[in-house]
Chains A and B, each alone.
Chain A
Amino acid sequence: MPTLSEIKKSFLVSLWFMFLTFPIMVIRVNTTEKLVLWRWENMLYIGIGSFLLSFVWRYLLWRKETGKKDTESGGTEAPPFFQRILSDRRYAIPAFVVGIVFVVIFPFVMNTYQTNIMITALMYVVLGLGLNIVVGLAGLLDLGYVAFYAVGAYTYGLLNHHFGLGFWIVLPMGAFMGAFFGLLLGFPVLRLRGDYLAIVTLGFGEIIRLILENWNEFSFGPSGIAQISRPSLFGIQLSLSNSIVYLYFVMIGMVLFTIFVVNRLQNSRIGRAWIALREDEVACQAMGIDKTRTKLTAFALGATWAGMVGVIFAAKTTFINPASFTFLESAMILAIVVLGGMGSIVGVAIAAMILILLPEYLRAFSEFRMLIFGAIMVLMMVFRPQGIVANVRRSYKFQPDKHP
């Protein structure tokens, strides 16, 4: 692979980079002392750096290409790392136990700040799994997912403010409201797909936010709703730190519940219909699947989770205003789904953890956060477009002779 032509290519790349960065990296004009500083050593660094980078880059691409050829020419694809781990009992059981112990003792060992971050991350796991139904399984690009999150949060905020309803009563109502708004969005966009769908859903997200921002009588406008009550444990109000621990366990339960339901949905008749819809809409309909119904269930069931997490969000922060529900949130959740791997539950959970926890722990590098974020995204698109954990189709067990 490291032939002369490759070296030549990298050399040309580094020359080009040196030329491009010449004005900013080499020349420095000091206007107060009327001096021009020529920093030639910077050019050298750029040259060497870009030479090496381009070399490594093309080496990785080459490896990816040859790897693909190997699997195509008969070699069976090794099962993904996580499945290998999980399928082996020797590793699975200890890993499972360690996981449970970690999850249980986490809020007691870590301080409230850490627990709070973890709650946020878990919330995004559920949001990611919810959006995964719409985007990953049914293939409907939804850029306004945060709207349902807002609907859930405001459901709790308003009902708590006006009627003093508690968390546990509103949680199912939030789910219901999410589903209802999912249908509300679903109906007008039934005929759209691809880019057009993305634009309309984006608009929908903005509409909800703008309504919340401007309809002062209803939603208290930008000043938001404050002093929303935290969840109570069988009617007992908890202290601040206890209630955070409590919320943490509520969230853990929520994540497990979501994984359970989404997994079952995915492997059902309805899940298959969603995937078929994603793969080919015309064929899907010609095979007898009701497109309208399938799309609407996807929108409604996806939005349900956002509605529930919205309620939890309102209970966690005790204050909500429209600024929490901007397009950036939608983009973040979408990034989680895409980075994790469309349709893959484990992948989405991991991606949510990475994308939410990493920025928190990298506060020291907060100036470079977006840079790192962008770089990771670009690298993922090039080297693992299928996401962290590619969704593997399951194989079924059949007994063809049993049903004559």
Chain B
Amino acid sequence: METILEVNNLTMDFGGLRALDNLNIDIRKGEIVALIGPNGAGKTTFFNCITGIYSPTNGDIMISSPKAAGAQKRERINGLKPNQVTEKGMARTFQNIRLFPSMTVLENVMIGRHCRTHSGVAGAIFRNRAMVREEQSVVDDSYRILEKIGLARYVNDQAKNLPYGAQRRLEIARALATEPFLILLDEPAAGMNPQETLELDALITRIRDEEGISILLIEHDMKLVMSLSDRIFVMDYGKKIAQGTPEEIRNNPVVIKAYLGEEIDA
């Protein structure tokens, strides 16, 4: 399997605090990878670093987009702005939902199409044929994505009026609209009930199987993580402490120690 994201020796300092310490992570095509770890381990910081919200202190973030070809295939994306990273093909969701609350559900997804469309000010004012066609295709594409995610019935509702689980899924829909090769999900199941979590599980698997999009997710719901992921990375205090298949991770003493603390019985 070809590697699509390769993070080498990633380090992030906030003043004297080392939030990420020499992190090495790789994701292959068509994989669902989970990133777990106790609170404050630096998982979200890692997301922010690779999506361009923070600029890492040290290390390399390399992507090889399956869509790009030839010499450009392997690229270093450190220091790119978030919108450029999204354009390269990595889209994310947020831990605390960040939709555009007073826009409609459809418009939220249409925003995701922004970086794949081109019409400018002149096009907006004169409404030439290319612009009208592009606009209609944005609407249609967005609607199709909503249908796929199962949000079609909310299409003209304001995003803020959606039930919680639907808002989470809308974030995924919006990320899908940017045509990514890798989606980064930051705690997608947080606050969901068991039924919704089950649906999410199916949704994520479907995105991977049908679209061929790789997925990296941060999650605390161990049941979901174990059932979904092909591989798991475990972080603690900014360091990677383990990696492997769900089975390996489940029985890894280091991981158990990180989560439950050391036994004091000696």
Residues in A lying within 8 Å of B, measured CB to CB: 261, 264-265, 268-273, 275-276, 279-280, 282-291, 297, 301, 393, 395-400, 402-403
Contact = CB atoms under 8 A, between A and B. Distances in A.
A287 B140 contact: no
B142 to A, nearest CB: 8
B143 A398 contact: yes
A396 B139 contact: yes
Interface of B: 51, 53, 81-83, 86-87, 91-92, 94, 98-104, 106-107, 110-112, 114-117, 119-121, 123-125, 127, 131, 134-144, 147, 155-156, 158, 174-175, 178
A398 B139 contact: yes
A403 B83 contact: no
B143 A268 contact: no
A276 B98 contact: no
Contact of B111 (A272, A297, A397, A400): A272
Nearest to B87: A288
Contacts of A398: 106, 139-140, 142-143, 155
B83 A290 contact: yes
Contact of B99 (A270, A283, A395): A283
B81 A393 contact: no
Given A282-B98, A393-B104, A397-B139, A287 B121 contact: no
Given A265-B121, A400-B140, 16 more contacts: A268-B119, A268-B135, A269-B114, A269-B138, A272-B107, A272-B110, A279-B101, A283-B100, A286-B53, A286-B83, A287-B86, A288-B83, A289-B111, A398-B140, A398-B142, A400-B144
27 contacts: A261-B125, A268-B135, A269-B123, A269-B124, A269-B138, A270-B124, A272-B107, A272-B114, A276-B111, A276-B114, A279-B102, A282-B94, A283-B99, A287-B86, A287-B174, A287-B175, A288-B112, A289-B111, A289-B114, A301-B121, A393-B158, A395-B104, A398-B139, A399-B136, A400-B143, A400-B147, A403-B140
Decide if the interface of chain B is mainly helix, strand, loop or mixed. Answer: helix
A284 B10 CA distance: 26
A276 B103 contact: yes
